[in-house]
Chain A
Amino acid sequence: MGRSSKDKRDIYYRLAKEEGWRARSAFKLLQLDEEFQLFQDVQRAVDLCAAPGSWSQVLSRKLRGLSGKSSEVTIVAVDLQAMAPLPGVIQIQGDITKVSTAQEIIRHFEGQPADLVVCDGAPDVTGLHDIDEYIQAQLLLAALNITTHVLKKGGTFVAKIFRGKDVTLLYSQLKIFFSDVVCAKPRSSRNSSIEAFAVCRGYAPPDGYIPNMSNPLLDHCYDVDFNQLQGPNRIIVPFLACGDLSAYDSDRTYPLQLEPGKEYTYLPPTQPPILPPYQEACFLKRNNLLAKERGPTLLEESSLSVPLPSASQEEEKLACDPAFHRDATESHQVMVEKTCLSAPLLSTSQKQGKVVSDPVSDCDTTESPPSMGEETSNPFPAPRQERDGISHGAACLRVITDLPQTTVEEAVDRLSISS
């Protein structure tokens, strides 16, 4: 597995790097626009859960580029955490569940409501589908709630949706607020992923509806008539696949040389990760500082002197061991691969294309933390971690702040710059 392997497994990941997008999800919005002309006559757009900013990039390039009159277009990107600045995009570092955030958006629009609200946010997936789908639904409802504060009547709302067991409950909720709800799947979103996009057009809240953020919007329940748990009556919105059929296929594996005469060159990711939650743990793992079980206690028969195995001797042995070499290089590659394009993993801002974890085909530009790749699911810890043998105790690091700051910085550097 080389660094080019992900370029091969995921064509849109590669194209995103070649075209300078911060994440491959940029293509999803582009393809949604192709189908629905989302950007037509849009002057004020909001990007919720924007980090790392690929959808804001698309909004900026398409809206400002199209109109040519950049001053007339306002784009506001909201996320809990800061992201690298983008030309023509106003950033708000705020919580989408707070009414103050809604007010700030409107302030940037000089009191006018937005024409378009988009949200590509996904939660920190746990792998248990019921929890992940529930949390994704709550995220969508939070986005819908703030949208009701900022969107103009007749406006459009686009949000990521997981087509799971209770998706009909979300559809029924969205249909209350919008005259036209469609479930759209861009071709750049994997067939194997449960991700899709709810494209809600014609914002028309019920008569007398007063936007309210003091309480979260809760999801609907199944009923006996119109949206049944097991019966034939369910609220399912029309499905539309979007993007040109002749476009690249996100499920297909392509050779590195896409066209004759076009040489392949490896490109580093556009946007390195900012402080992912696993950063410290990965540093410790790489440097063999994770706590581990002690070896058997050594008892001596008669004397107290225990010959310590000389460190250099052990090192030599390890160096000769082919298994050691392979494990070490592999795990290194995994780290590099998995961390190189990750987005900030603050939960509301994480982009996770797919709850389905697939060892071969990863979902989005950003991906799950390096946890259970084929290479890392080793029944034993890496040999490096066990070299202390019998005589040294287990190295247990309790408080990370003891580490020399320079070492930490170095490691962080290495985390973010792919070799």
Chain B
Amino acid sequence: MSMHSVLLLAPITALEFVGDYLLSGEGPNLTVHTLKHESMCAVNHLQDLLRNYRIHGIKQCGSPCPGNEMTVLAVFGGKGLIILQFITFDDDKVKLIEMCQFQELHDWIWDLQWLKDSLEIPSSIALALGHNSVVLYDFLTQRTLKEVHCEEKCILYSAHFVGDYWDELTLVAGTVFNQLVIWQMASPIGDEGRIKPRCRISGHGGVIFSIFYLENKGILASASDDRSLRLWSVGDLKLIENPVHCSLVLYGHQSRVWSVRLLSDCIISIGEDSACIIWNYSGDVVHHFRGHKGCSIRAVAVHETNGWVVTGGADCGIRLWKINGNKSDGSCLLQLNFSAGSRQGTPKAVTLVDTSCLLIMTDTGGLYTYDLTCKHWKFVLEDPDFQSYSLLKVVKLANNCAICSIGNITGHIKLFTLCHPEEAKDLRLHEGKVHNLSWVLSDGQTSDLCNLFSSGPDGIMVWLEIFCSSGQIKCITQKRHYCLPLCKQRWHTSIVFLPKEELIVVGDRRGSLLLYSWVTVQNVVTIKAPGGETFTENNSVCHSLESASICDRETSYPGQKLHAEGPNSILFGIHGKLGVTSVSHHDGLLYSTGRDGCYCQLRVDSGQLKVLRKQKPCKGMDWVEKLYFTPDNDLLVMGFHSTNFVLWNSRTNEKLLCVPCGGGHRSWSYDCSLSTKIFTYIKSGDTFIYQNKSTDKSHYVLKDSLHGRELTSVRHIGKIQTNETLNILLTGSEDTTVNILAFNGSSNTVFPLTTISGHLSSVRALAFLRISNKDLENSTMSTVFFSAGGRAEIECYRLLISHECNTSGIRCQVIHVASHRLDEHWDHMKNKHKIVKMDPETRYMSIVVVNERLDLDSGQLISCLFLAAACSDGCVRLFLMSEHSQRLLLIAESFHHQHCVLKVETFTHRFAAGSRSVFLCSVATDGSLAFWDITPTVDFAKSSLELTDGEVQPTNLGIPALIVQVHQSGINSLHVEKNSDGHYLVASGGDDNSIHICVISTEVTPGNVASSELGRTARYQQNCSSCIRLLKKFVVLSAHSAPITGLRILHPELLVSVSVDQRLTLWRLGDNGLQFLCSKFCHVADVAELDCWADSELAHYTVLCGQGLQIIKCVI
């Protein structure tokens, strides 16, 4: 029998460079990453190096010399220490050899220093321990040579050694009393056998978390709980005397500062606000790196020659940032001073033709181009008709022809190419103001064709097709007229072609998405023509276009009356009242963005637009303008974050660009090429250009983030067959997101598939519809899952995962099905800020899908699925989800527990007679188990669902069928499994360290069986009378030394439990109760949940989550 860890994702607590290799400590595991080539990858991995301790420090012996292929490393953390040889060979291969075995000291190790003897040979190490003592340790013989104590014997929070020889060794200790205590090991020992400190430095308002000394500058730095960094001019630390001058106090972190490093020209600090700040010595912030999810950055390492800073987070991710290049090389802001030349007017509109040319329209109706490379202005044309109001839009065709369109308040449009502005075509498309103009290119068209859409009064949108070659507009065709839905601001904002379907998708100012056809007129809409008359022809209403005059001879104008067609499909106001900002398509799906701060993923389903998922990509970005997909499929989001223009990478969680332009309500334009990003805008009557020319990336993700806060729930959804078997895992976290991960059991690696961020508050529980066996081991997977948590919120999604044979990757699609919030009515209340909300702030503690039918095909749309929820307000609630109507309804509830309900489980019993009973088991903080027969509720809900489609008044679940008092206090884990006798084993693990097993039997009450031949109501009766009995109970009182938060019955004779005491234990379940089999220390602190899956008859995988994620394989 064995248990071994196959995967651990934990906070990165140590980082260190050894030459061009990066070493990271994650729990007790050490990983070596090579950074020699552009590809950065892990090359070596040592597991459980420090046994039950986390690695907190890695120190190499001496400075690395390029010729030497062998370095000695000390790795330490907690009370553990190990010395390794680090050997490089064959260019980039690495071997790590244990030089002397794992050693445990009597106290916590805060710092370690390699010491030289008189012959300059590293001979021993010094260790700074938890109660301000220093141990001189001979690592070869593994002996403590001596231990010296400081007079100040309090608990330390940090310590930092200075000096290479014992005789000069100095320790700077950060005490629990907010002081820095400096003492020397070789000082004379005082009366109490302790050494008097040389100096004490006070000033911080909180405990000291990190200390660093830079010898050549004589500066000591400290980072503290008070959120500040302090720099102290100490000179030579060995000669330090009181008083010490504080030269700099730096406040820049939003939260506590965990660590500080000093370099020759900058200061690096990391903190609880997940920021890494680079300061200069005058106290200015040079860089402010953000990218780690959620909470803290825990570790930092610096490669000074390459200018690399590497940070490791509590999110389990590792990032690399470059600091050597001054960032002003890469980006600059340029003010064009338009009026400085003898140019007339002030710029009103600006647009980029490409990354080297921009176009400006002035308030005098003048048009100018500006060449960014030769910094040269050029006059294009001037038309006083366009001076009071004008729209300016430009497009550059693949044949390098740039066409410009301007529209004015009287409905006139001027079209011209930039190379021949003198040949401008003037059209009058509308009776009144041109509300918007859009150039749209289509994949289906040749490179000399482009489309212009113009919105005029009364929601009429005209589509023109323009043929352009050798820099001249050859032909303009009016293709079609469309009609936008009735609303106050009735014009389009964005358009995309779907050439395959012959459809166009339009976003409008009202926030609606509309689908129009190219070809056939399907919908009939009444349009009021400009003249006031309407024409009806063949059941359709058409709009007289006689007023739209096209003046040029060369323009071909069909002359026929065009129908103003209505949309085939409308998603009204989906992006809120401020409007849709863009529509695009990528990889077979449609995307829209809006000024509600969201983007939607959509698809056209039998001629109708259907929203798959709506996401808020970036917190605080209330105006999302556009999406970009990079070649490696990162999603970039462009938008405005308050008054800044921001380009955001949603995968790496970082700002690629941030321009303080003043907000989106101005004329602005953005374009990018491979090497350049250009943003131009008008502010205070002048044009500004922001240019970013960073050719190489300034930061890299060395290891992906997991979650920004603790994980609360994990579920193994199933397996999918690609070249290898991938296990799909679902994780929920307090960071309000749900991650979908794929775990490869043969390489023991995990990679993220997607992140869902739909919750307002923390996600506490996950549940899914278990896929029946026949669907397992397939190359596609389709199921429904739920996430629930704070603010009494439940979300339901359909998950589709498929492996495409021609590509190596797998495709993961998430479709939002339904949402539910108990206090939704509160959000719609007026003046809610004036009223005190009296309702409890309920959160869901646990949810479970009632899987009553085995034959449910998970791939099909589900008409009716039940979900049970444990609620913090003391209620057990039952919901019904219908995928057809996309609704989640509360159907029943009970406040029986009167205590916070912690877990729910369900099971369905099938009687020999063919009927079934559905049971719900709920547990609360009072330690009792309650069993409910929910069969009548479920049946009643199903029947009433068929009758009414309206709101359902929740019924009372009534009283439980059976109550068993088992634990003293809260029950934190629960699992129900059928045994071979047809009875049910109910395993529960509590806050009281104990595991209870209840054996439950379900029976039909005799006498009612005969009625099963009767109709529906009779069967109903029979189900009601099924009874549930407790047969026997087993208990292990001190199964763990802390609350048991995870429990699974692997098979009727085997149980696995996990506790906050960080032990995973296997138990044999026999007739006489539970028997301890074996136990394994796990490295996930604060374990919240456990899930298991079988790999074979004898091998089980268990996955634990909490402060990280660990997968342990148990072989029996």
A and B from one complex: yes
State the A residues within 8 Å of B (CB): 2, 4-5, 8-9, 80, 95, 97, 123-124, 126-130, 134-135, 138-139, 142, 163-165, 167-168, 171, 183, 185, 187, 191, 194, 214-216, 218, 221, 229-232, 234, 236, 238-241, 245, 249, 251-257, 264, 266, 275, 277-281, 284-285, 289-303, 306-307, 309, 314, 317-318, 321-324, 327, 345-348, 355-361, 369, 371-372, 374, 376-381, 383, 386-390, 394, 396-400
Bound Cα distance A397, B970 (Å)? 49
Contact assessment for B314 and A291 in the assembled complex, using a CB-CB cutoff below 8 Å: no
Bound Cα distance A124, B177 (Å)? 11
Bound Cα distance A303, B340 (Å)? 7
A280: chain B residues at CB < 8 Å are 205, 226-228, 251
Chain A residue nearest in CB terms to B683: A309
B660: chain A residues at CB < 8 Å are 295, 386, 388-390
Taking a contact as CB atoms closer than 8 A, the residue among A300, A356, A394 that contacts B284 in the complex is: A394
Question: What is the 8 Å Cβ interface bit string for chain B, positions 1036-1060, against chain A (1 contact, 0 not)?
Answer: 0110111100000000000000001
Bound Cα distance A221, B1032 (Å)? 39
Bound Cα distance A106, B852 (Å)? 68
Q: Is B842 an interface residue (CB 8 A)?
A: yes
Q: Which secondary structure characterizes the binding site on chain B?
A: loop
Taking a contact as CB atoms closer than 8 A, the residue among B284, B337, B641, B684 that contacts A396 in the complex is: B284
Contact assessment for B251 and A317 in the assembled complex, using a CB-CB cutoff below 8 Å: no
Contact assessment for B925 and A252 in the assembled complex, using a CB-CB cutoff below 8 Å: yes
Bound Cα distance A290, B149 (Å)? 39
Contact assessment for B991 and A398 in the assembled complex, using a CB-CB cutoff below 8 Å: no
Compute the total of residue contacts between A and B using a CB distance below 8 Å: 373
Bound Cα distance A300, B333 (Å)? 8
Taking a contact as CB atoms closer than 8 A, the residue among A230, A296, A322, A381 that contacts B1080 in the complex is: A230
Name, among B104, B254, B659, the residue most crowded by chain A CB atoms within 10 Å (CB to CB). Answer: B254
Contact assessment for B840 and A8 in the assembled complex, using a CB-CB cutoff below 8 Å: yes
Contact assessment for A294 and B762 in the assembled complex, using a CB-CB cutoff below 8 Å: no
Contact assessment for B993 and A231 in the assembled complex, using a CB-CB cutoff below 8 Å: no
Question: What is the 8 Å Cβ interface bit string for chain B, positions 652-664, against chain A (1 contact, 0 not)?
Answer: 0101001110110
- With A254-B873, A296-B659, A397-B251 as given contacts, are A9 and B841 in contact (CB-CB < 8 Å)? yes
Q: Which secondary structure characterizes the binding site on chain A?
A: loop
Contact assessment for B839 and A239 in the assembled complex, using a CB-CB cutoff below 8 Å: no
Q: Would you list 9 pairs from A and B whose C-beta atoms are within 8 A, ordered by A residue?
A: A142-B155, A171-B1041, A191-B970, A234-B1038, A309-B683, A345-B225, A378-B619, A383-B641, A396-B283
Known: A388-B660, A396-B283. 11 other contacts (CB 8 A): A165-B1061, A252-B840, A253-B900, A291-B285, A309-B662, A379-B290, A379-B618, A383-B642, A390-B333, A398-B249, A398-B283
Contact assessment for B131 and A355 in the assembled complex, using a CB-CB cutoff below 8 Å: no
Contact assessment for B841 and A386 in the assembled complex, using a CB-CB cutoff below 8 Å: no
Contact assessment for A253 and B873 in the assembled complex, using a CB-CB cutoff below 8 Å: yes
A253: chain B residues at CB < 8 Å are 840-843, 872-873, 900
Chain B residue nearest in CB terms to A370: B255
Listed from nearest, the 7 A-B pairs whose CB atoms lie closest are: A277-B206, A383-B642, A129-B1085, A281-B227, A191-B970, A251-B900, A241-B969
A123: chain B residues at CB < 8 Å are 155, 176
Taking a contact as CB atoms closer than 8 A, the residue among A167, A171, A293 that contacts B288 in the complex is: A293
Nearest Cβ on chain A to B102's Cβ, whole angstroms = 12
- With A130-B1085, A256-B836, A280-B228 as given contacts, are A372 and B969 in contact (CB-CB < 8 Å)? no
A378: chain B residues at CB < 8 Å are 619-620
Chain A residue nearest in CB terms to B79: A221
B643: chain A residues at CB < 8 Å are 314, 317-318, 321, 383, 386-387, 389
Bound Cα distance A323, B279 (Å)? 29
Q: Is B84 an interface residue (CB 8 A)?
A: no
B582: chain A residues at CB < 8 Å are none
Contact assessment for B177 and A301 in the assembled complex, using a CB-CB cutoff below 8 Å: no
Q: Is B719 an interface residue (CB 8 A)?
A: no
- With A130-B54, A277-B226 as given contacts, are A400 and B249 in contact (CB-CB < 8 Å)? yes
Bound Cα distance A68, B942 (Å)? 66
Binds A, one of B291-299, B434-442, B532-540, B770-778: B291-299
Taking a contact as CB atoms closer than 8 A, the residue among B298, B332, B641 that contacts A297 in the complex is: B332
Nearest Cβ on chain A to B329's Cβ, whole angstroms = 11
Bound Cα distance A8, B1080 (Å)? 40
Q: Is B992 an interface residue (CB 8 A)?
A: yes
Q: B866-902: which have CB < 8 Å to A?
A: 872-874, 898-900, 902
Q: Is B108 an interface residue (CB 8 A)?
A: yes
Chain A residue nearest in CB terms to B3: A230
Bound Cα distance A80, B155 (Å)? 14
Contact assessment for A358 and B734 in the assembled complex, using a CB-CB cutoff below 8 Å: yes
A281: chain B residues at CB < 8 Å are 226-228, 251, 253
Nearest Cβ on chain A to B670's Cβ, whole angstroms = 15
B1080: chain A residues at CB < 8 Å are 230
Contact assessment for A138 and B1107 in the assembled complex, using a CB-CB cutoff below 8 Å: no
Contact assessment for B335 and A371 in the assembled complex, using a CB-CB cutoff below 8 Å: no
Nearest Cβ on chain A to B643's Cβ, whole angstroms = 6
Nearest Cβ on chain B to A275's Cβ, whole angstroms = 7
Bound Cα distance A390, B658 (Å)? 11
Chain B residue nearest in CB terms to A1: B841
Chain A residue nearest in CB terms to B295: A372
Contact assessment for A309 and B684 in the assembled complex, using a CB-CB cutoff below 8 Å: yes
Contact assessment for B734 and A299 in the assembled complex, using a CB-CB cutoff below 8 Å: no
Chain A residue nearest in CB terms to B209: A126
Bound Cα distance A383, B623 (Å)? 14
- With A371-B273, A377-B294 as given contacts, are A300 and B761 in contact (CB-CB < 8 Å)? no
Contact assessment for B251 and A187 in the assembled complex, using a CB-CB cutoff below 8 Å: no
Contact assessment for A2 and B837 in the assembled complex, using a CB-CB cutoff below 8 Å: yes
Name, among A139, A191, A240, A279, the residue most crowded by chain B CB atoms within 10 Å (CB to CB). Answer: A191
